[in-house]
Amino acid sequence: MLHLTPEEWTAVALSLRVASVATAVSLPFGIAVAWLLARKDFPGKALLNAVIYLPLVLPPVVTGYLLLIVFGRRGIFGAWLADVGIVLSFRWTGAALACGVMAFPLLVGAIRLSIEAVDRKFEDAAATLGANRAWTLLTVTLPLALPGIIAGAVLAFARALGEFGATITFVSNIPGETQTISAAIYTLTQVPGGDAQALKLVGIAVAISLVALIVSEWFGRKAGARVHGV
Amino acid sequence: MVFDLASDMILVEIDKKLGEFALSVKFEGDSGVTALFGPSGSGKTSIVSMIAGLSKPDRGRIVAGGDTLFDSAAHIDKPAYRRRIGYVFQDGRLFPHMSVARNLDYGRWMSGAPRDDAQFARVTDLLDIAPLLKRRPGALSGGERQRVALGRALLMRPLLMLLDEPMASLDAARKREILPYFVRLRDETKLPMIYVSHDPAEVRQIATRVVRLDGGHVVATGGVELLGQ
């Protein structure tokens, strides 16, 4: 059986919390941005698209450093947020922010594709039946895009779970506060004799990711059947 | 004559350039069934799409049910969702993720009106779709799908019905099955309808008035005798 130390259990629980919060909080923004990119033309669209995909191509340590500059205690937004009592740097909430930012391109990409795949003729039909833009989105477009939204959320969750570079740069590696599974594995591989413990955490990381993928596949298939009207 | 429209009158007077194709039509309709009849490419679907508010004319005026839906001179352009026009599409366009019952109830739900079980029963009886309520659109035949689409449009209490080749995707047997429902609808309601078709036999059975189109223009208006023999 698994014999994990309390600190390691803490790291596992923290990772799950960070990844869940990162996914849940970024989901509404991800849907909004994906809808804008899929259905609207506006000045600056290409720039918005590039900025959203930036974390995918930047070295994670650069993203983490940028987060520190913007959301650190003396950062542009960080100082203002600290005044209203929200501190992100060196807290688990900051880890969630870093993971959310790193996972955002994957989330938006999957949802955007699924919204683009929704046939606009159903949106036209909804309009003739009295649905304004917002209701059409809520009752027709998003339900039809649901398989892609689920896939995007799981992808984002898995990415958030594995995030390392941006997180450790922005919120460091504090046991019990910001030390996720990845950071704990990294720490264990730095100390003599830590390999066995690291391997157990590796096993847990693989198991969580596998379960997430299987659950998403199952949900995706169910949602797909609904969408195809049978 | 003073241009005074009764409330069940329809007036369509629109110009629209679609690439190389120039659409310029003017016609009127009444409480019966006005058929837009003409070969494919004569602009029929573009016209109903503009009446529904799904696309915008370059210039002109659209009045239905005593309500100005579009008037370029007066800068009036009601959005589609506020026009209350029942649109039956060629391909039905039932929402695939909803049951037949929820599809039928969608217009009522969006309008925020209270549920009207009597009206719901009347329409499902008129179209014989009560046994289908629990089914998904994917499990319907072509004829059943079009009857549900017709019911969905009727239940939103429209001021005007647009029927865009509602039988075009059906085979001859299905057409014979569904045509009586359109006739029943014409005879049992006072709802003005615009019926798009390129099939003279179909138009002869359903229309009370014919607007003949060709190349984006009205070439003749009158009764079903316009269709010849």
* Chain B contact set for A146 (CB, 8 A): 97
Task: Answer yes or no: do B138 and A227 touch at CB < 8 A.
Answer: no
Three-state secondary structure call for residue B64: strand
pLDDT, residue B53, reads: 95
Task: Answer yes or no: do A124 and B80 touch at CB < 8 A.
Answer: yes
* Chain A contact set for B138 (CB, 8 A): 228-230
Phi, psi of A118 (to 5 degrees): -75, 125
pLDDT, residue B181, reads: 87
Domain ranges, ordered by start, for chain A: 6-227
The type of residue at B49 is S
pLDDT, residue A13, reads: 93
pLDDT, residue B7, reads: 64
What ipTM is given for this predicted complex?
0.90
Of B54, B106, B136, the CB nearest to A124: B54
Task: Answer yes or no: do B86 and A128 touch at CB < 8 A.
Answer: yes
Chains A, B: CB contacts within 8 A come to 75
Angle, helix B100-111 to helix B117-126, in steps of 10 degrees: 140
Of B52, B87, B96, the CB nearest to A228: B96
Task: Answer yes or no: do B81 and A139 touch at CB < 8 A.
Answer: no
Q: Phi/psi class of residue B60: alpha, beta or left (left: φ > 0; alpha: ψ in -120 to 50)?
A: left
pLDDT, residue A4, reads: 79
pLDDT, residue A5, reads: 84
pLDDT tens for each residue of chain A, 230 residues long:
467 788 888 999 999 999 999 999 999 999 999 999 999 999 999 999 999 999 999 999 999 999 999 998 888 888 888 888 888 888 999 999 999 999 999 999 999 999 999 999 999 999 999 999 999 999 999 999 998 899 899 989 999 998 999 999 999 999 989 999 999 999 999 999 888 889 999 999 999 889 988 888 888 887 777 776 55
pLDDT, residue B23, reads: 93
Chunked into runs of 10 residues, chain B (229 residues) has average pLDDT values of 56 92 92 91 92 95 90 95 94 94 96 92 92 94 93 93 90 86 86 92 91 92 81
The mean pLDDT value of chain A amounts to 91
- B74 CA to chain A: closest CA distance, Å? 23
Centroid of chain to Cα A76: 23
* Chain B contact set for A225 (CB, 8 A): none
Instruction: Report the C-alpha gap between B130 and B167 in whole angstroms.
Output: 21
- B142 CA to chain A: closest CA distance, Å? 14
CATH, range A6-227: 1.10.3720.10
Of A129, A135, A229, the CB nearest to B156: A129
Report the half-sphere exposure of A215 (CA within 13 A, side-chain side).
Answer: 13
DSSP alpha helix (H) spans, B127-191: 142-154, 172-188
Query: Which residue in chain A has the smallest CA separation from B151?
Result: A129
Q: Which CATH number fits domain B10-223: 3.30.70.270, 3.40.50.300, 3.30.2270.10, 3.40.250.10?
A: 3.40.50.300
Query: From the DSSP assignment, how many helices (H) and strands (E) are in chain B?
Result: 6, 11
